Amino acid sequence: MKIVLAYSGGLDTTVSIRWLKETFNADVITVTVDVGQKDNFEDIEKRAYIAGAIKHYTIDAKKEFADNFISYAIKMNGLYEDVYPLSTALARPLIAEKVVEVAKKEGAEAVAHGSTSKGNDQVRFDLAVKALYPDVKIIAPARIWNMTREKEIEFAKARGIPIKSESSKYSIDENLWGRSIEGDDISDPSKEVPEDAFEWTKKKNNGKITLSIEFEKGIPIAINNEKMDLVKIIQVLNEVVGSYGFGRVEHIENRVVGFKSREVYEVPAALVLINSHKDLEKTVYSPLEFRFKKYIDSQWSDLVYQGLWFEPLRETIQLAGDNLNKWVIGEVKVEIEGNGMRILGRTSRYSPYSEKIASYNKGWYPSDEMARGFIEIYGMHSLLTRQVRE
Ligand code: ARG
């Protein structure tokens, strides 16, 4: 039997290679998808072979991740329960897609992934694979083998399989859009998150920094007037604003799999981009568009979080999102200080804002008669309803 495994290089998936090989007498092919995690892909490949893989693929999908997934996370202000930018959730369907491509090419009977039975990621992987390759078998070793983390380490050591040293403490998932940290002391929600959980947002710079971000049809295209592609913009922002200590999210999260969990994220670029994008949307949309967009944003975020990337409604929502984002063109100035962000100002040629109309000092004032007439008719519904209830 041939099995294609989504391989991160971490403890669970490294042990999975050997476990699959021993349990199913299988040829295991590993696929590591580069979605922007700061890993050494040569070391990962070596580890795959030592653990028993017969063939390994490293696939650079950073551009695809940015252009087809993150771009929508920005356009749809993707935040689960208002705070989590969906970094892990967004990459899963893409990783599954790459694994399926290899499985088809290699003629494999099964695909495998390292998710456990407690997490959301298993739902995202399984549903993506079922959508793209309904006939293939799905094996999730960690759902079957009943090993604790210590047992896994023992299993690896007994077979001379090297594991990453930091594997033992937190469960980390990293990509271009963010770093998710779970486990160990984080699991006690009454305690402050230990400083050693953080990596991208260690404070190296005090003081504040001002940035201008330019958007074209909802997508960021330049920082401080310097044009860059989306991958670069995200990398630069993570690096720069992360060094001021910005980008930490601490969350009591409602998982798909029926329980609450304490989650920590480092998402500097995601927060800067989504918050500035939201501001620009508010600047250009009509009030009805703005209210409608808020509703579809949260629907989109829920679908992505819940592993329903391939639910047809997502595309319909995105079509509406694309149409609205046609007008999200302009520039937003922001200031970052520590873990705080402030919008300093924004400009857009599609902004209906008129200083002449809004200002108290000059210009437009409706007449007393116009104002009275407007208020009378505007409030009539409420006043009549009140009256009949008195
Ligand atoms: N709770 C987040 C989510 O469901 C993060 C999951 C992190 N995954 C991991 N394997 N450490 O999207």
- Ligand 1 pocket, residue 120 CB under 6 Å: yes
Output the pTM of the full model: 0.96
Ligand 1: residue whose CA is nearest its atom 4: 120
Contact 308, 299 (CB under 8 A): no
Q: Is 297 a catalytic residue?
A: no
**What distance in Å separates the CA atoms of residue 171 and residue 166, rounded to the nearest whole number?**
9
d(CA 212, CA 230): 15
Q: Is 323 helix (H, G, I), strand (E, B) or coil?
A: helix
Name the phi and psi angles at 33, rounded to 5.
-100, 120
Residue 171 annotated among the catalytic residues of the structure: yes
Nearest residue (by CA) to ligand 1, atom 9, is 173
**CA dist 102 → 2, 12, 40, 65, 110 (Å):** 11, 21, 21, 18, 11
**pLDDT digits (tens), the chain, 390 positions:** 999 999 999 989 999 999 999 999 999 999 999 999 999 999 999 999 999 999 999 999 999 999 999 999 999 999 999 999 999 999 999 999 999 999 999 999 999 999 999 999 999 999 999 999 999 999 999 999 989 888 999 999 999 998 776 555 888 999 999 999 998 899 999 999 999 999 999 999 999 999 999 999 999 999 999 999 999 999 999 999 999 999 999 999 999 999 999 999 999 999 999 999 999 999 999 999 999 999 999 999 999 999 999 999 999 999 999 999 999 999 999 999 999 999 999 999 999 999 889 988 878 899 999 999 999 999 999 999 999 999
CA distance to 20, 103, 140, per residue, from 135 (Å): 20, 11, 16
Distance linking the first and last C-alpha atoms of the chain: 77
Q: Does residue 159 have an active-site annotation?
A: no
DSSP 278-296: HHHHHHHS-HHHHHHHHHH
| 121 Cβ closer than 6 Å to some ligand 1 atom | yes
55 beta partners: 29
Number of CB atoms found within 10 A of residue 380's CB? 10
Structural contact between residues 99 and 129, judged by C-beta atoms closer than 8 angstroms: yes
Residue in the structure block whose two tokens are 């989650």:
263
Alpha-carbon distances of 8 from 40, 48, 97, 251, 352, rounded to whole Å: 11, 10, 15, 25, 48
Q: Is the CB of 182 under 6 A from ligand 1?
A: yes
Q: Is 135 a catalytic residue?
A: no
